[in-house]
Amino acid sequence: MMIKILAAIVLSLGFINFSYAQAQIEITEGWVRGTPPGTTITAMYMNVENTGDQDDTLKSVSSDISKSAEIHQTSVDDKGVAKMEMLESVLVPAEGSVNFKPGGMHIMLIDLEESLKSGDKVEIKLVFEKAGQVKVQAEVLGVGDKPE
Amino acid sequence: MNRKKIYYALVTVLVLIAIGWGIILFVLFMEKSRADFYGNLYDKGRAPEFSLTDHNGNRVKMSDFKGKAVLLFFGYTKCPDICPVTMGTLKTVTDSLGEDSANVQVLFITIDPERDNQEKLKSYVPYFSESFIGLTGTPEEIDKVADDYNAFYMKEEVVESESGYLMGHTSSVYLVNPKGKFVLRYPQNRMDPLRIAEDIRNIL
C-alpha cells in the first residue's frame, strides 16, 4: 500500500514537472550598454530561447536600476531614417528564439538611477505569459565592446 | 580595289576595335574603382559650410576641418540604441586607423538642440573618444545644417512611453574627404568598422 502511494506521488510529481516544462525560457548573452555620465537612458540586449513545445510571450520588463523599462524596436527605412516604436509584447515561438540586438529589438531602460560602468552587473526582470518571471543578470559593456 | 584602299580599311577596322576595347576596359576600370569602396558613393560635391557651437563652447565651421577626412553623424544624446552603436563603431574605426586617425575628425551633430546643450554634449561625445567633437546650435541653425546635408529628423512622441520624446533621424554616416568634398555615405547596414577604415585610408 505504502509503495503504491509513494509511486503515485512520484508519478504525479513527474506529471507536474512535465506540464510545467512546456514553455521553457532560457536567456543567454544578456548585456547592457554602459552610459556616459549624465545619460539616463540605455538599452539591454539578449537572446531569448524557448526550448518548450508551446509558444510563449514576453509581456513586461522591469529593473531596479531604472524607473521604467520598455520593449522597443528600432527600424531604419530605405531613406536611412531610424525610428523607434514601443512593443506591447513579443512572441517567442515554441522551439524558437528571438534575438534582441543593436539596431533591432531592445529593452529600453528609462530614467536610470545612476550611470552604468563597464563590468557592472544589473538584474532585469522579464515576465512571460507561461514561463512567469525570469530574472536575467546582464553585464554592462563599455564603448565598442561586443558580447563574447 | 587597290592595295591602298585595303590598307586603309584594315587600319580603320583595327582602330575601331582598339577604341571599342578602350571603352570596355575603361568601363570595367570605373566599375572596379566604384566597387573598391565599401561605402555607398555619395557624389554631392562640396560639403556645405556651417557654423555651430562645439562641446567646449567654441564656434566651429566645417571649413576648419579642411585637410582632414571628416566622418559626420547626426544623432542625439537621449538616443538609446542607434546613436551609441554608431558612435562605438566610429570609435573602432579611428582606433584601427592608428597614426592615420590624426587626419580624421568625427563630428556628432545633435538634431535635438532643445535638450542637447553644450554641457550635455561635453559629457556625452568625449565619452566615446576624446578626439570626437559634438556640435549643437539654435534650433534654426540645426534645421539649416540638417537641410543642407539632406539629413532628416523629427520629434516622435511614443504613445504611453515614459521616455518623453524620441527622435526619428537620418542614421547614415557621411564621409567627407580632406578637400571638403562628400565621397561616401554609410547606411546602418554598412557599419563594418574595419572596412570603413580601409575606405578612409584610400581617400587620405
CATH of the domain at A27: 2.60.40.1890
In B39-138, which ranges are continuous DSSP H helix?
82-96, 118-128
Identity of residue B169: H
Partners of B172 on chain A (C-beta within 8 Å) are: 80
Question: Does residue A12 belong to any structural domain of this protein?
Answer: no
Q: A119 CA to chain B: closest CA distance, Å?
A: 16
CA distance A17 to A103: 38
Residue A58, all three cell numbers: 514576453
In this structure, the answer to whether residues B18 and B48 fall within a common structural domain is: no
In this structure, the answer to whether residues B144 and B192 fall within a common structural domain is: yes
Q: What is the pLDDT of residue A17?
A: 46
Nearest CA in chain B to A104: B81
Nearest CA in chain B to A45: B81
Q: What is the pLDDT of residue A11?
A: 53
In this structure, the answer to whether residues B92 and B44 fall within a common structural domain is: yes
Interface size A-B, in CB pairs within 8 Å, comes to 100
Per-residue pLDDT tens for B69-80?
999 999 999 998
Give this prediction's pTM: 0.82
Q: B128 CA to chain A: closest CA distance, Å?
A: 6
Residue B147, all three cell numbers: 537641410
Checking if the pLDDT of A23 tops 70, the result is no
Higher pLDDT pick, B16 / A71: A71
Checking if the pLDDT of B108 tops 70, the result is yes
In this structure, the answer to whether residues B63 and B5 fall within a common structural domain is: no
In this structure, the answer to whether residues B21 and B61 fall within a common structural domain is: no
Tally of helices (H runs) and strands (E runs) in chain B: 5, 10
Q: Which domain holds residue B171?
A: 40-203
Q: Decide if B188 and A80 are in contact by the 8 Å CB cutoff.
A: yes
Checking if the pLDDT of A54 tops 80, the result is yes
Q: How crowded is residue B202: how many other Cβ atoms within 10 Å of its Cβ? A: 13
Question: Does residue A83 belong to any structural domain of this protein?
Answer: yes
Higher pLDDT pick, A16 / B129: B129
- Name the band, by pLDDT with cuts 50, 70 and 90, for residue B35: low
CB A71 within 8 A of CB A81: no
Q: Which domain holds residue A28?
A: 23-141
Question: Does residue A13 belong to any structural domain of this protein?
Answer: no
Whether A108 contacts chain B with CB within 8 A:
yes
Question: Structurally, how many domains does chain A consist of?
Answer: 1
Checking if the pLDDT of B191 tops 50, the result is yes
Checking if the pLDDT of A148 tops 50, the result is yes
For B162, which of A67, A85, A106 is closest by C-beta distance? Answer: A67
Q: Decide if B128 and A143 are in contact by the 8 Å CB cutoff.
A: yes
Checking if the pLDDT of A20 tops 70, the result is no
Question: Does residue A82 belong to any structural domain of this protein?
Answer: yes
Non-local (6+) Cβ contacts of A108 within 8 A are A41, A42, A43, A44, A69, A70, A71, A72, B80, B81, B163
Q: What is the pLDDT of residue B120?
A: 95
- Name the band, by pLDDT with cuts 50, 70 and 90, for residue B162: confident
For B92, which of A41, A108, A144 is closest by C-beta distance? Answer: A144
In this structure, the answer to whether residues B91 and B67 fall within a common structural domain is: yes
For the four alpha carbons of B167, B75, B186 and A74, in that order, the dihedral sign comes to negative
Q: What is the pLDDT of residue B80?
A: 87
In this structure, the answer to whether residues B72 and B58 fall within a common structural domain is: yes
Q: What is the pLDDT of residue A121?
A: 94
CA distance B151 to B136: 15
In this structure, the answer to whether residues B89 and B124 fall within a common structural domain is: yes
CA distance A106 to B73: 22
Partners of B128 on chain A (C-beta within 8 Å) are: 36, 143
Nearest CA in chain A to B186: A80
Question: Does residue A64 belong to any structural domain of this protein?
Answer: yes
